Structure 1
Amino acid sequence: MANLPEQNTYPSGIYQIELTDPVVGGPDGISNVQARQLANRTRWLKQIADEVVEARGEGGSSLAARLAGYDAFSPEQQVSILAGVQEALGLGGLLARELANLRGRVLAQGTVTIKNKHVITGMVLTKTEIRALHLSQTGDVGTGISRAQIDGMIVSLPDDDYHVSVPSNESDEARTYFAYLVNTGGVSYGVQIDQQVPDTGLPLYRIEVPANNTGNSLSAVTLTDLRVIQATNSWVASYEPFASVAFPDTLPAADYGVELEVEDATNIAAVGTLEAYDKMRNGFKIRQTGSADNVRIRWTLLNLRYQ
């Protein structure tokens, strides 16, 4: 992978990539104009920073040590030297700000995963007389069938006594766990409990386990329903999966463009259309129209109003 060529110049402005500009790479490509201009500024400022380092002299730990002999200079010479040092330090601060802008705004890029998962019916967890949870369609274990959309397909689970065990808590502080539906190997699916939900898991319940809760009784344990229930509706899908993207730095305006690239999915051919929407200065959202799940997307901001 080649690096952009750099010149020891300081461009007076940074080009704003427009929505109509094509995405073109290469040393002279429009997508690299901003980065090349900032790279030139950085190279120019780096030369100034090198001069500051050189001013310390060999073995000098700081400029203060280097300037300790100022008394040997006349007052006019001291004023000139101090003015030069202040200018160099100011340019060093400008260099740091330019680098921060380069990382946080001009080269803003990242990845996000859209989870196309929801409960169609059931997936109800209820307490038992031991340290375990029932799984059922209605809340009462019988002959019901729970169904969910996950990993790009519909998964069915029959009602099951004591389907999953609740962890005990021997610590002096309460602990939070999550019950989630996940692939347990091959074509098998089941509910598991852990302190975090993996990207491939469908959250069902939050489980609050009090401190020193180790007995068989779950009476003090709290279950909070987190299920997103979306019943099938003929050919119309009213559930639109999305993901939110938060910026590390606030942009000067929200009129930026976004380039979206699918890196992975359970079925890339079923991703459908991707759309960036709800653009704000501190982030935006991405939604998809297809049935694919675990869609990992690389996003890149375009035509930033750099200031």
Structure 2
Amino acid sequence: MPALGFGVFQTAPDETVAAVETALATGYRHIDTAAAYFNEREVGEAIRRSGLDRSEIFVETKIWISDYGYDETLHAFDKSAGKLGIDQIDLLILHQALPGEFDLTINAYKALETLLADGKVRAIGVSNFMPDHLARLLEETSVVPAVNQIEVHPYFRQSELLAVDSEHGILSQAWSPIGGITFYRGGPHGSTLQDPTIGEIAAAHGKTPAQVMLRWHLQQGRQAIPKSVTPPRIAENFDVFDFELTADQLGAIDALDTGVRGGPDPKEITRETFGRDIPEA
């Protein structure tokens, strides 16, 4: 899996094809989508239009909580693969834990294990799983998740969870890696893009704050998934492989952690509150 991915969370279907085409032309080779983003079909169309061989593109998508359960999750794979227009998904993950119905979560993950054994997916994982969710999952299933995709940015580092992932050999994937969730939702600490510490580090390297934050993730061993629909920003976010932050700079960014989550609290996810129907392919 490439170190840097391209995300399409909250990208409208009518903007997704162009955004993904631009990302692939820029050099991205990992596209991250989800059934609950309702743009898998457009991601698949962009991949076909790119002219790239399917083997060159790493495709990741997610099963939504409405489709948890063993048989339901097997069918959810068919829905996602059908919309994407591909036979094999490179990485298929569970989008959330269902703390109040964890048996459904376990059964969904066991379906992922079956899909892996059958060769329909190349790797499986989870998203937004906290340490207690991971502990129970590891007790009741056989395959250690390849990844845990979680909210990580300078204002919310989740150091304990990162350590738990690392302990079990689970790669941490950062969603909202430059803290977009904080300014989309009016977080109390403002935008990471205007943070003076990050700005000072960016100026020292002749880079932008976004590039510094993405570099921070990569140097600390995380995979990062930035998103944008603007071609210059898509290119900017990919231009992060020609400089290196010092240990002091990495530590200064770590110190910005506020402990304040921008996205939904994983402990509060229920089908009643967050359920949504995922259409057929």
Q: What is the TM-score of this pair, normalised by structure 2? A: 0.22
Q: Which has the higher contact order (CA 8 A, sep 6+)?
A: 2
Higher helix share: 2
Greater Rg over alpha carbons, structure: 1
Higher strand share: 1
